[in-house]
Amino acid sequence: MYRKIIKPLLFSLSIERAHRAVILLLRIIGLIPGGRWLLHKCYAVEHPALEREVFGIRFANPVGVAAGFDRNGEAFRELAAMGFGFVEIGTITPQPQSGNPRPRVFRLPRDRAIIHRIGLANRGLETSIRHLRKPHDGVIVGCNIGKNAATPAENAPADYLKLFRNLYQYADYFTVNISCDNACRDGSTHTREQILRILEPLFDFRRGQNQYRPVMLKVSPDMPDEVVDRVADILLETPLDGIVATNGTYCREGLQTSREALEEIGNGRLGGAPLTRRAVEIVRRIHTRSGGTFPIIGVGGLMTPDDVRAMLDAGADLVQLYTGYIYEGPGLVGEICRALIADEERRRAEAAKAEAEAKAAAAAAPAEASDTAPSKTADAAPGTPLPSPEAAAGSGTNAGNGTAEGAGNAKSADGVSGCGDIPAGHSEKSPETASGTSGEPAIPAGNAPEHPGKQA
Ligand SMILES: Cc1cc2nc3c(=O)[nH]c(=O)nc-3n(C[C@H](O)[C@H](O)[C@H](O)COP(=O)(O)O)c2cc1C
């Protein structure tokens, strides 16, 4: 239905118009009683094998909506009803901004890709808060935050802090977007000093809260490997919780689209199939360099269940879709979920078979046979069949809005040796003193541990 009817219809419109129409349609469906229930019935796949616990939050499945799709948080509940395990809204900037002149988003059907130079167009903090005041109903919401284009680089930390403070009570986690700035193509804003200037005030503010909100950093795929390593080291040495890798690329190598067409389109970040390899590579590098214990959200060119498998195998804990969703349609999330369930069932069947073979071998060994009592642990064996999706339905719902108190990432005590570098006493900072910016104070101050997971 999507490929035969809806996609040709949407692809006959400009991509921004089509996108606007989809968001509007979702909002209308959300207003109809039972609308979200129907979306859920049609698209969502629930199963215990899909559930993940990442940075202390329980996800019903690991497939999320990438930033840029619901920039203002207008349709996060409807997108979750369409089967996504979480929704990252934004990038939100403090003030509304119109972004770059249109046209600024382009389809490359021959490459199954999209180029965009939206320039973080969004309706600003206040509008996003208005949308986020709606009940979350267990939907896990990430807030992707960025600075206004008009804000000079030296004032960028104040923009990020204002967003963090004011969105703190509405977000389950944050993504700090430093890779979307027009000025940053190759990770040149990814220096330790620049990143820490933005992150430190957020960590200071978080120390004064009684609820923990994980902070992720979104990075560019165009970083040279040594910059990727530097970013991974920041994970090891600071209270940063994880990485979202990656944003779109400026690279145009190996595309099927003609050079003339590309020149006509001009500048912009490219997402979709040509990005898969580099995004997976970056995730693998960060995962390896950081010892494999930090949450990574893998995004970039995930067009099929196999792409998602590759991303998870590279070390991602969660994944996000954007361009793949545009090209493959709303069925893609269910397709990925069913593939992940099948993988898990296969793994369990193989483990059960291996265990049965080991038992048979042990029983056949005459000397041991007389000594060894039959195992009583068969029921608890890894081969225990998974409940069917039908039986699991209803039990696989989100576990709530991630209060995450006592949660945090999976860092071991060894993995956060740099935490001591953070000046002592920051945890006493109150929301009022944490920022010079105006806006409603976030939830009451407490003593949120910097790395709750670390204290376990
Ligand atoms: C039209 C469009 C708008 C986007 N806007 C944002 C944004 O505001 N903030 C952000 O962090 N990423 C943004 N992205 C990047 C995506 O979140 C994603 O990182 C990137 O497109 C790679 O994933 P994909 O290959 O699945 O598209 C945008 C992507 C597209 C195509």
Give the torsion sign (CA, 255, 259, 261, 262): positive
Ligand 1 contact, 275 CB (< 6 A): yes
**Axis crossing angle, helix 331-364 with helix 305-314, rounded to the nearest 10:** 60
Strand 52-54 relative to strand 105-108, pairing = unpaired
**Which atom from ligand 1 is nearest to the alpha carbon of 247?**
19
What DSSP state is assigned to residue 273? G
What is the rounded CA–CA span in Å between residue 197 and residue 166?
19
* pLDDT digit string, tens, across residues 407-452: 444 433 333 222 222 233 333 323 333 333 333 444 444 445 554 4
Work out the pLDDT band at 4, boundaries 50, 70, 90: confident
177 lines ligand 1 (CB under 6 A): yes
240 in ligand 1 pocket by Cβ < 6 Å? Answer: no
HEC per residue, 207-257? HCECCCCCEEEEECCCCCHHHHHHHHHHHHHCCCCEEEECCCECCCCCCCC
Atom number of ligand 1 nearest to Cα 115? 31
pLDDT band at 214 (very low <50, low <70, confident <90, very high): very high
Q: How far is the CA of 270 from the centre of ligand 1 (A)?
A: 8
328-363 burial string, b = 16+ CB within 10 Å, else e? bbbbbbbbbbeebbeeeeeebeeebeebeeeeeeee
Q: Is any ligand 1 atom within 6 A of the Cβ of residue 270?
A: no
pLDDT in tens, 72-119: 999 999 999 999 999 999 999 999 999 999 999 999 999 999 999 999
Is the pLDDT higher at 379 or at 318? 318
C-alpha 452: how far from chain center? 21
Q: pLDDT digit string (tens) for 64-85?
A: 999 999 999 999 999 999 999 9
**pLDDT above 50 for 378:** no
Centre of ligand 1 to C-alpha 111, Å, is 16
For ligand 1, whether the C-beta of 171 sits within 6 Å is no
Instruction: For residues 60 and 393, give the distance between their C-alpha atoms in angstroms, rounded to a whole number.
Output: 11
10 Å Cβ neighbour count for 135? 8
CA distances from 97 to 119, 152, 155, 265 (A): 9, 15, 17, 22
User: At what angle are helices 225-237 and 276-289 packed, to 10 degrees?
Assistant: 40
Q: What is the DSSP letter of 120?
A: S
Token pair recorded at residue 176? 């700090």
Spatial distance between the Cα atoms of 166 and 144, rounded to a whole number of angstroms? 13
Q: Average pLDDT in the 141-161 region?
A: 95
Ligand 1 atom 5: residue of nearest CA? 68
d(CA 456, CA 451): 9
- Angle of helix 124-132 relative to helix 156-167, nearest 10 degrees, comes to 20
Report whether 389 contacts 45 (CB < 8 A): yes
What rounded mean pLDDT belongs to the chain? 84
CB atoms within 10 A of CB 14: 14
% of the chain surpassing 90 pLDDT? 73
pLDDT in tens, 265-320: 999 999 999 999 999 999 999 999 999 999 999 999 999 999 999 999 999 999 99
**Residue 103, preceding peptide bond in cis (omega within 30° of 0):** yes
DSSP string, 338-353: HHHHHHHHHHHHHHHH
Sign of the C-alpha dihedral computed for residues 404, 292, 417 and 431 taken in this order: negative
**Residue keyed to tokens 């109903």:** 137
Query: How far separated are the first and last CA of the chain, in Å rounded?
Result: 50
Domains for the chain: give ranges and CATH numbers. Answer: 2-341+399-455 (3.20.20.70)
Q: Does the CB atom of residue 298 touch ligand 1 within 6 A? A: no
Q: Among the atoms of ligand 1, which is closest to the Cα of residue 246?
A: 19
Task: For Cα atoms 430, 133, 426, give the angle at the middle one, nearest 5 degrees.
Answer: 15
- Pairwise CA distance, residues 447 & 311, whole Å: 36
Q: Which helix (H) or strand (E) holds 7?
A: helix 7-11
pLDDT exceeds cutoff 70 at 150: yes
Residue 67 Cα, ligand 1 centroid: separation in angstroms? Answer: 6
Q: How many CA atoms lie within 13 A of 396 on its CB side?
A: 26
CB of 221 closer than 6 angstroms to any ligand 1 atom: no
Task: Compute the Cα dihedral for 8, 35, 341, 286 and give only its sign.
Answer: positive
> 217 CB under 6 A from ligand 1?
no
Determine the Cα angle at 107 with ends 103 and 110, to 5°.
150
- Report how far ligand 1's centroid is from the alpha carbon of 73 (Å): 15
> Tell me: the pLDDT tens digits for 40-54?
999 999 999 999 999
Nearest CA to ligand 1 atom 4: 68
- The dihedral built from the CA positions of residue 245, 250, 253 and 259, taken in this order, carries a sign that is positive
| DSSP code, position 450 | S
**Residue 266 contacts residue 381 (beta carbons within 8 Å):** no
Give, for ligand 1, the residue of 120, 269, 297 to mutate: max count of ligand atoms closer than 8 Å to Cβ.
269
Minimal CA–CA distance to 204: which of 436, 455, 401, 402?
Answer: 436
Beta bridge partners of 144: 90, 175
Distance CA 85, CA 140 (A): 7
CA of residue 325 to ligand 1 center, whole Å? 12
pLDDT, residue 258, reads 97
Tokens representing residue 164 in the block = 């963090």
CA 60, 64, 67: angle at the middle one, nearest 5? 150
Is 121 a pocket residue for ligand 1 (Cβ < 6 Å)?
Answer: no
**Tokens coding 444:** 């009451």
pTM of the full structure? 0.83
